[in-house]
């Protein structure tokens, strides 16, 4: 799966619809890769087209002020639009322009996996749901996009024509912020989409253990998340062989599998391939000698840590449960 920066590069090169030929700058969106709140507008305007940044013009100033009054830090949110290029004269994006651009948005949501999405305006709501109706009706519902709560509110530009709408948007954004605060982090991507068949995937990984009290974690560059070396089982490989090969490739270390420690199964939807996946990951405790770690491209850091440190920096609950299993296996051995 690509990274947010990879998607942004594709968007900047994109010529899949007419807007790609007349824009000054494409506007892929901006924000942290682990943002809890994800805002979706309609399409860039003149100022965004000039700067390549989302919501920096008049609507952007209104949005920034509303975020502030709802106690949401703009820099903590991911902000983008359905269409990434400016339609001439700020006309509405056409159906074919939405259809060609929407996959970029879906992939961005997949990668960020926010806790809540805020659809700013009907255009954005229509692009992400099957709802067709007025905004006053939409505000009565809480939508779900691929398992992620979605709150609909007016586009900030509406405030220019109708000032009282500002308070409504503020209220909706405050509700979304509360959802973001109270929703648990999501595991393993987006919930499966009904009606799509499942493709099976098997991966294997090893928790590298130094024979004492330390385990090795590595950090991915694209997501900035700490994890355990693992990868897909290739044809003809045993699960142990995969775990050891991944450790060698990702961290440059040789090891010996000690014992299997955990098997995790989860199901998710990947919008890039438009497929549901049924994935099983098998984990082993792997004894390694603490030699020189040589990280594969795509990884930026490594750390030898105790069980407690590992649980503090691991993002996913699943990974923490694997560490618990590793610690239990080590205790049984001693
Ligand atoms: N309006 C939008 O919908 N998106 C932008 O990026 C700017 C204004």
Measure CA 257 to chain center: 32
3-state secondary structure at position 195: coil
pLDDT tens for residues 258-291? 999 999 998 988 876 788 999 999 999 999 988 8
Closest atom of ligand 1 to 47 CA is 7
Cβ atoms of residues 43 and 26 within 8 Å: no
Q: Give the pLDDT confidence score for residue 53 in this predicted structure.
A: 98
pLDDT tens for residues 106-160? 999 988 989 999 999 999 999 998 899 999 999 998 888 877 889 999 999 999 9
Q: Are residues 176 and 258 in the same domain?
A: no
Q: Is residue 188 part of a domain?
A: no
The residue range of the domain holding 294 is 198-333
CB half-sphere exposure, 309, CA atoms < 13 A: 10
Mutate to test the pocket of ligand 1, among 30, 41, 83, 152 (most ligand atoms within 8 A of CB): 41
Q: Are residues 207 and 104 in the same domain?
A: no
Looking up residue 245, the CATH number of its domain turns out to be 3.90.79.10
Cβ–ligand 1 distance for 228 under 6 Å, the answer: no
DSSP for 90-133?
A: GPPPPHHHHHHHHHHHHHHHHHH--SEEEEESHHHHHHHSS--S
Q: pLDDT higher for 271 or 296?
A: 296
Cβ–ligand 1 distance for 156 under 6 Å, the answer: no
Q: Are residues 296 and 155 in the same domain?
A: no
- Alpha-carbon span 234 to 202, nearest angstrom: 9
Q: Are residues 26 and 142 in the same domain?
A: yes
Distance 193 CA to ligand 1 centre (A): 29
pLDDT greater than 60 at residue 30: yes
Mutate to test the pocket of ligand 1, among 24, 38, 51, 57 (most ligand atoms within 8 A of CB): 57
Please name the residue that has the structure tokens 């009904």. Answer: 194
Cα–Cα separations (whole angstroms), residue 205 to 44, 106, 200, 282: 43, 29, 17, 6
Q: Is residue 62 part of a domain?
A: yes
Q: Are residues 23 and 148 in the same domain?
A: yes
Tally of structural domains, the chain: 2
Q: Are residues 158 and 71 in the same domain?
A: yes
Closest atom of ligand 1 to 121 CA is 3
Q: Give the pLDDT confidence score for residue 184 in this predicted structure.
A: 62
Q: Give the pLDDT confidence score for residue 310 in this predicted structure.
A: 93
Looking up residue 10, the CATH number of its domain turns out to be 3.40.470.10
**Exposure of 194 by Cβ count < 10 A (0-12 exposed, 13-18 middle, 19+ buried)?**
exposed
Distance 49 CA to ligand 1 centre (A): 10
Cβ–ligand 1 distance for 59 under 6 Å, the answer: yes
pLDDT greater than 80 at residue 222: no
Closest atom of ligand 1 to 56 CA is 7
Cβ–ligand 1 distance for 29 under 6 Å, the answer: no
Distance 295 CA to ligand 1 centre (A): 40
Q: Are residues 107 and 134 in the same domain?
A: yes
Q: Give the pLDDT confidence score for residue 70 in this predicted structure.
A: 96
Closest atom of ligand 1 to 124 CA is 3
> Could you tell me what percent of the chain has a pLDDT over 70?
96
pTM for the predicted model, two decimal places:
0.65
Distance 236 CA to ligand 1 centre (A): 50
Query: Which tokens is 49 given?
Result: 């087209």
Q: Give the pLDDT confidence score for residue 186 in this predicted structure.
A: 58
Average pLDDT of the residues in 40-50: 98
Cβ atoms of residues 285 and 208 within 8 Å: no
User: In the listed set 182, 217, 243, which residue is the last one of a domain according to the structure?
Assistant: 182
Average pLDDT of the residues in 13-29: 97
Q: Is residue 163 part of a domain?
A: yes
User: In the listed set 129, 149, 182, which residue is the last one of a domain according to the structure?
Assistant: 182
| CA-proximal residue: ligand 1, atom 5 (nearest) | 44
Q: Are residues 30 and 104 in the same domain?
A: yes
Average pLDDT of the residues in 56-74: 97
- Alpha-carbon span 145 to 191, nearest angstrom: 9
Q: Give the pLDDT confidence score for residue 83 in this predicted structure.
A: 98
């Amino acid at each position: 799966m690509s990274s947010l920066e990879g998607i942004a590069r594709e968007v900047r090169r994109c010529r899949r619809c007419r807007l790609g030929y007349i824009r000054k700058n494409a506007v892929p969106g901006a924000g942290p890769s682990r943002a809890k709140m994800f805002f979706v507008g309609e399409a860039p305007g003149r100022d965004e087209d000039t700067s390549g940044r989302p919501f920096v013009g008049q609507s952007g100033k209104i949005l920034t002020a509303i975020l502030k009054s709802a106690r949401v830090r703009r820099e903590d949110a991911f902000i983008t639009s359905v269409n990434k290029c400016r339609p001439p004269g700020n006309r509405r994006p056409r159906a074919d322009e939405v259809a060609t651009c929407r996959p970029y948005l879906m992939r961005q949501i997949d990668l960020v996996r926010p806790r809540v999405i805020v659809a700013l305006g009907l255009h954005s709501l229509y692009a992400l749901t099957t709802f067709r109706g007025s905004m006053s009706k939409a505000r009565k519902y809480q939508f779900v996009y691929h398992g992620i709560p979605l709150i609909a509110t007016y586009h900030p530009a509406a405030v220019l024509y109708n000032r009282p709408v500002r308070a409504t948007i503020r209220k909706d954004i405050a509700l979304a912020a509360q959802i973001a605060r109270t929703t648990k982090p999501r595991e393993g991507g987006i919930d499966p989409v009904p009606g799509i068949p499942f493709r099976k995937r098997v991966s294997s990984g090893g928790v590298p253990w130094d024979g004492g009290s330390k385990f090795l974690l590595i950090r991915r560059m694209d997501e900035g998340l700490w994890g355990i070396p693992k990868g897909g089982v290739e044809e003809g490989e045993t699960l142990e062989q995969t775990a050891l090969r991944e450790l060698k490739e990702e961290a440059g270390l040789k090891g010996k599998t000690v014992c299997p420690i955990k098997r995790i199964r989860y199901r998710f939807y990947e919008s890039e391939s438009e497929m549901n996946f049924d994935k099983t990951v098998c984990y082993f405790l792997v004894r390694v000698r603490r030699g020189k770690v040589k990280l594969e491209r795509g990884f930026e850091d490594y750390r030898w840590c105790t069980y407690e440190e590992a649980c503090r920096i691991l993002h996913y609950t699943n990974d923490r449960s694997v560490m618990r299993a590793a610690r239990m296996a080590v205790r049984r051995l001693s």
